[in-house]
Chain A
Amino acid sequence: ETGVTQTPRHLVMGMTNKKSLKCEQHLGHNAMYWYKQSAKKPLELMFVYSLEERVENNSVPSRFSPECPNSSHLFLHLHTLQPEDSALYLCASSLDRVREKLFFGSGTQLSVL
């Protein structure tokens, strides 16, 4: 077990729904990340939080809204998604934002109908 837990594991939503993905890390890390994984593509970094402050937003559409209430929890709020947003969404953490070793959760497999 990596110490990074993501829920739900699977999510099917319509284009007009609002849902949230949750990530919790039990490693005492201070940096957390959202990645998007699509088939046969490199992992795409979406957001980075360090000590609860967002430090990176890689031109992600506004229909994805992150929230980091404390250093152990990270959310990704979803609304009015498009079918092309269907992917595996991975949460990761690291000791801090300069340490390169990432610890990933198992991901949420999202399908947008």
Chain B
Amino acid sequence: QQQVKQSPQSLIVQKGGISIINCAYENTAFDYFPWYQQFPGKGPALLIAIRPDVSEKKEGRFTISFNKSAKQFSLHIMDSQPGDSATYFCAASITGSARQLTFGSGTQLTVLP
């Protein structure tokens, strides 16, 4: 049973556009929601993370929006650049339990020049 559902599977955006990736979770005990970025030939790397005490977190061009009542969270990439082309994974876990980190199935983002 997949506990974190991610969409879309792939996304193509023009340079300068906004990329939006969505995730939904089922386990209401989750309280830590990271996003990982993976370039071809590399392992995933933590991009940004949020906890449910805030509804939004911004780091540079990357923003996480969190909706606790809907059990959804999303990644917004503003002013998307070709260098942002990568696979993005959302994840969720319970604080204090790294081994419980549950990943989404990934979104392959392509930003056209």
**Number of chain A residues whose Cβ lies closer than 8 Å to a Cβ of chain B:** 27
Interface residue ranges, B against A (CB under 8 Å) = 2, 4, 9, 32, 34, 36, 41-46, 49, 89, 93, 95-99, 101-106
Q: List 10 A-B contacts (CB under 8 A).
A: A31-B98, A42-B106, A97-B97, A98-B97, A99-B98, A100-B49, A100-B97, A100-B101, A101-B34, A102-B98
A77-113 contacts to B (CB < 8 Å): 90, 92, 94, 96-107
The answer to whether A107 touches B43 (Cβ under 8 A) is: yes
Q: Is A21 interfacial (CB 8 A cutoff)?
A: no
The answer to whether B99 touches A104 (Cβ under 8 A) is: no
Q: Do A43 and B98 contact each other (CB < 8 Å), given the known contacts A100-B32, A100-B93?
A: no
The answer to whether B95 touches A104 (Cβ under 8 A) is: no
Q: Is A12 interfacial (CB 8 A cutoff)?
A: no
The answer to whether B103 touches A42 (Cβ under 8 A) is: yes
A43-B44, A56-B99, A100-B97 given; name 20 further pairs at CB < 8 Å.
A31-B98, A42-B102, A42-B103, A42-B105, A42-B106, A45-B99, A48-B99, A94-B98, A97-B97, A97-B98, A97-B99, A98-B96, A98-B98, A100-B32, A101-B46, A102-B36, A102-B44, A102-B46, A104-B43, A104-B44
